[in-house]
Structure 1
Amino acid sequence: MTDRNYLNNLRIPTKDNPLRILMSACLTGITCGFDGSANGEYPSALKILTYDTVKIVTFCPEEFSFGTPREMCDIHGGTGIDVLNGKAKVLTETGKDWTEGMIKSSEKMLEIAKKENIEIAILMDISAACGSQVIYNGNRFGSNKVYQIGSGVSAAQLKKNGFVVISQRDFASLEILYSKIDSKHKLDTTKVDHHEIDWYKEYFKIT
């Protein structure tokens, strides 16, 4: 779930004092996805790049540790916080253990967030590094792929250290954010966050 109370209390940024936002590099169009792409386009996230009242800092944890292109990886046996606590592993689609590299890249992301005094992070959901709402439980290419509620390793590292993270699919939260950085933005109250969509509720049996 997202912290809308925090979002609602964000300061109003200016050109001289922009809101400091950390984003998954792929969400900004940088071609750092596992296959050398930008993992598709997400207009709700790309829109933020057009404002001069924000300072965008980008980082790709997986590229940092493993380069681009690379194998796809997922968390096995838990979520990102379990990886950080030594209770779960990050494995590639061919079984390589990338746990150590993912932890190192999460530490680098945290270092950047602290150095830049980041006020909010917008990260790519589903990712084993950056997912903040939903991630895979095991190999996403398996015949019976399984989703789980939880964060990827880097997102968990940020949250553990007090940073607020939202995803590109948290449309209600993004609406609040846009109302802060754009005085002319009209808040669309019909938008919902990822954990509020029907698929999420049905899959995880939430009533």
Structure 2
Amino acid sequence: MERRWMLNKGTVRTNALFWNRRFLLVYSLVPSSDRMTDIHYLTHLRIPTEDEPLRILSSACLLGQACGVDGTSNGEYPSVLKLLRYPTVRLIPFCPEDYVFGTPRETPDIENGTGADVLEGKARVITETGKDITEPMIEASLKMLRIAQENEVELAVLMDVSGACGSQVIYKGSRFSDQPKYQIGMGVCAAQLHKHGFKIISQRDFASLEILYAKIDPAHSINEQAIDHDRHPWYLEYFGKK
């Protein structure tokens, strides 16, 4: 009985590896220059062990910490929370906004550009009541960078749309305007990490998360229907990428 169980387990793992490789081959055919996420980097991440776990920096709210602007965790994100199950992952949670502004707090958005523009002095971070909080947000981004560097993180999983942590899409100006708009780009802290070479995915990059789970769990069978945010029909239509 035990021998048959071992055979079945091996068969499941073999099948998972076959479909995972097939998925990675197909998904990696998308030109990297046209991707917000770095699929090539993800597919070449090392295989972690319990002794040498994968070091992942995460927006604290994605791991259930009540550090959102309203004192909640901004909802639940099962695709990220699942990371907590694995001894082959070392998670480093951090909320840059809570670090400098506390919780609860006003909501920051970026005026006249993206997070990268803020770092270059071309854009400002403004709250819904009009307060300019650009300098403290840059301070928060530098703290997040130091944490990433000190922990030698290999990947960051951050909250998209956030003026701090957004990595795919952020608001174009205030989200509280009469006609709020989105733009492609990063928040201030994500831009700081990206500027210094750290790789980032968001909670909405489901294909990338599937690749990540295949790395940390060899028995994980990749969902071939999963897509990243920049391949979602809403994204393609809204930004005219079709």
Aligned to 1:95: 130
- Among candidates 172, 176, 193, match of residue 137 of structure 1: 172
- Among candidates 143, 153, 173, match of residue 208 of structure 2: 173
- Among candidates 93, 97, 105, match of residue 70 of structure 1: 105
Aligned to 2:221: 186
Aligned to 2:139: 104
Q: Secondary structure at the match of 1:82?
A: helix
Higher gyration radius (CA):
2
Output the aligned Cα RMSD. Answer: 0.5
Q: Secondary structure at the match of 2:148?
A: helix
- Among candidates 197, 201, 204, match of residue 236 of structure 2: 201
Once the two structures are superposed, what CA deviation does each residue of 1:117-160 show, in whole Å capped at 9, x if it has no partner? 00000000000000000000111011110100000000000000
- Among candidates 45, 48, 51, match of residue 86 of structure 2: 51
**2:156 maps to 1:121:** yes
Q: For 1:193 and 1:183, how far apart are their aligned partners in 2?
A: 21
Count of matched residue pairs: 207
Aligned amino acid, residue 132 of structure 1: S
Q: Secondary structure at the match of 1:74?
A: strand
Q: How does 1:152-163 map to 2 (within 5 A)?
A: 152-163=187-198
Q: For 1:4 and 1:22, how far apart are their aligned partners in 2?
A: 18
- Give the structure with the higher percent helix: 2
Aligned amino acid, residue 183 of structure 1: P
**2:45 maps to 1:10:** yes
Aligned to 1:79: 114
Q: Secondary structure at the match of 2:57?
A: strand
Q: For 2:80 and 2:178, how far apart are their aligned partners in 1?
A: 31
Aligned amino acid, residue 112 of structure 2: G
Once the two structures are superposed, what CA deviation does each residue of 1:33-66 show, in whole Å capped at 9, x if it has no partner? 0000000001101111111000000110100110
Q: Structure 1 residue 187: deviation in Å?
A: 1.2
Aligned to 1:21: 56
Aligned amino acid, residue 140 of structure 1: R
Q: For 1:52 and 1:194, how far apart are their aligned partners in 2?
A: 27
Q: Structure 1 residue 183: deviation in Å?
A: 1.2
Q: Structure 1 residue 190: deviation in Å?
A: 1.2
Aligned amino acid, residue 219 of structure 2: K
Q: Structure 1 residue 189: deviation in Å?
A: 1.6
Q: For 1:142 and 1:45, how far apart are their aligned partners in 2?
A: 30
